[in-house]
Every structure is written in structure tokens, then in C-alpha cells.
Amino acid sequence: MKNILVCIDGSSYGQVCTQYAVWLSKHLDAKVTALYVSELWQYETPLIADFGGTLGTQPYLGLTAQLKEIENSKAKVIGEYVKKQFADAGIAGNVEFEHRSGLLVDCIDEFENQRGNIDFIVLGKRGENANLAKGQLGSNMERVIRASKLPCFVANRKFIEQKKILLAYDGSASATKALNWIANTKAFPSSEIHIVSVGKPGAESDAAKLLIDAEAFFKGTDKVPICQALSGAPGEAIEQYVVENGMTALLMGAYGHSRIRQFIIGSTTTELVRRCLVPVVMFR
């Protein structure tokens, strides 16, 4: 993992995303592109023409120019903040800042599929409207998770030193990618690694078999995972384990099979991202 895209804005989540990007860059010696997107598309002339009516579009065009000026000033402040965080960490050369206009998901698609020069995304659970409808996920976050094929590090509201990492494993292809990554990555040095698998009540042996398979990924490494078979509803069981054992991050597949079947909308994955107060790293 050598190229990270961190999505930032003027919210507290944007600041925390920057902190996690600095931390990942240091441990992985990775280059980081910090992306700030101004969503001014709704003020462009084709979209406002129908609303101008007898007033004409001129007042709206003047407003658009003012908004662009404000956004450019805001982007400058955010860019300076990001560069300072990397400079203070002694890795000033590891980051570049880009300001775009449009939709975040479209900008990420360009980086991922046209440029092809990123392999990991960092973004916040919420954005600049985080104080509204608390407890809900940001719409940009959900769009990006749906559209991107890359691993996504979804940051929580407050930066947490990473000491205990939990992987929720169900044997699916996406969860296996997460397992292979955590077994080989340098992103979590000296961190405890926990792996849980959730089985139906009375069928914990199925979960235990998955854990045996999971342990095999760590052979030949210096990591010794702590494995635990759980039973019950996957979302509740995993969240309880996170809280009771002081986990600082959760890794999982964005979707899977068996008891974690659906993609992010309406699934166990969504519930865990929303309810767990730790970063969630999702793999496709």
C-alpha cells in the first residue's frame, strides 16, 4: 500500500481523517493525496436556468462567483492545515493537496479508475453536517463505499491510538481480503489483533472452524491473533465485543455470505459503522 487518498472537509471528521492519514503514511511510508471537493454543481448555469424566470440568471451567476471565491478561500485554509499536520510529523514530502469541484464520488472514481494511482481511501463517517441528525451516516460516505472497489478506512469522530484491532470474519471473499491485509500490513505495529466469527446459537462450532482457517494466514508472521467464536446476532455480538474488550478499530468485509449477506445499505455492515465508536476498515 503506497498511495492513500484522504477525503477532507471543514468538519471535525475532516481533521480526524487528516490525523489518521498522517499515522498511516508514517507506518506504511505511503504517499497521500488530500482531496477537498466543493459541491458547487447545483449553482451552475444549466441547472439554475429554469429557476431564473423573469429575474434572469444574472443574480444567480453573481452568487455562484461569490460562492466559488469563498470555497477557494476555504480550500486554501484546509490545504494549509493538512500540509502543516504532515510537516509537524516530519513527513511533509508525503502529501499533496487537491481542490476539486463536483461530486465526491465522481472525483474518487477518477482517481481510482482513470488515474489508477490510489489503493486505499480514508474518509469520515460524517461530514460538515455532522451535528445534524446525529447517529446517521453521511451520504457521501455511503456513496463512496458503494462505488469504490478499494479498501476504505472510515474514521470516527475522535482520533484513537491503535492498540487493539478486531477483524470480524465470516469466510467471505471480502472478509478474507481483510484477513490477508491485517496479517501482512505494517499499519498496526505492536497492536493486539483479535479475530471473531459469529455463529448461530448452538452452532458455535461453525464459527470455530472459520477461526482455524483464519489463524493459518498468520503462519510465518510475528503476529499471534486472539480468536473468539461468538453466537447471536452478528451486529450485536460484534459491537458488544468491541466495547467490552476495548477495541480501537474494526476490520470487516463490506458484504459477505452466511450471516453477513447484504451490501452496505440495510446490512450488518451499516449498523456496525453507525454504532461502533471506532474506525471501521471495509474491504470489497
Q: What is the pLDDT of residue 36?
A: 97
Distance of alpha carbon 5 from alpha carbon 121, whole angstroms: 5
Q: What is the DSSP string of 76-130?
A: HHHHHHHHHHHHHTT-GGGEEEEEEES-HHHHHHIIIIII----EEEEESS-TTT
User: What single DSSP character describes residue 202?
Assistant: T
Residue 227: beta bridge partners? 195
pLDDT tens per residue across span 38-74: 987 666 555 555 555 555 555 666 677 888 899 999 9
Q: How many CB atoms lie within 10 A of CB 144?
A: 22
CATH of 3-55+66-155, one of 3.30.70.260, 3.40.50.620, 3.40.50.970, 3.30.1280.10: 3.40.50.620
Longest dimension (CA), the chain: 73
pLDDT tens per residue across span 97-137: 999 999 999 999 999 988 888 999 999 987 655 444 455 55
Q: What is the pLDDT of residue 43?
A: 60
Helix (H, G, I), strand (E, B) or coil at 190: coil
pLDDT < 70 positions in the chain = 1, 41-62, 127-138, 255-267
Q: Kindly list the domain boundaries of the chain, sorted by start residue.
A: 3-55+66-155, 164-279
Q: Do domains 3-55+66-155 and 164-279 have the same CATH topology?
A: yes
Question: What's at 94, amino acid-wise?
Answer: N
Q: What is the DSSP string of 134-156?
A: TTSPPHHHHHHHHH--S-EEEE-
Distance of alpha carbon 239 from alpha carbon 217, whole angstroms: 24
Distance of alpha carbon 64 from alpha carbon 100, whole angstroms: 15
| pTM for the model | 0.86
Question: What's at 195, amino acid-wise?
Answer: I
- CA separation (Å) from 141 to 105, 121, 134, 159, 280? 9, 11, 15, 18, 12
Backbone conformation region of residue 29, classed left if phi is above 0, alpha if psi is from -120 to 50, else beta: left
Residue 140: beta bridge partners? none
Backbone conformation region of residue 122, classed left if phi is above 0, alpha if psi is from -120 to 50, else beta: beta
Distance of alpha carbon 284 from alpha carbon 130, whole angstroms: 26
Question: Under CATH, what is the fold of the domain 164-279?
Answer: Rossmann fold (3.40.50)
Question: What backbone phi and psi angles, to 5 degrees, belong to 170?
Answer: -125, 10
Q: What is the pLDDT of residue 266?
A: 40
Best CA proximity match to 18, nearest among 65, 70, 77, 58:
77
Pairing mode, if any, of strands 164-168 and 192-199?
parallel
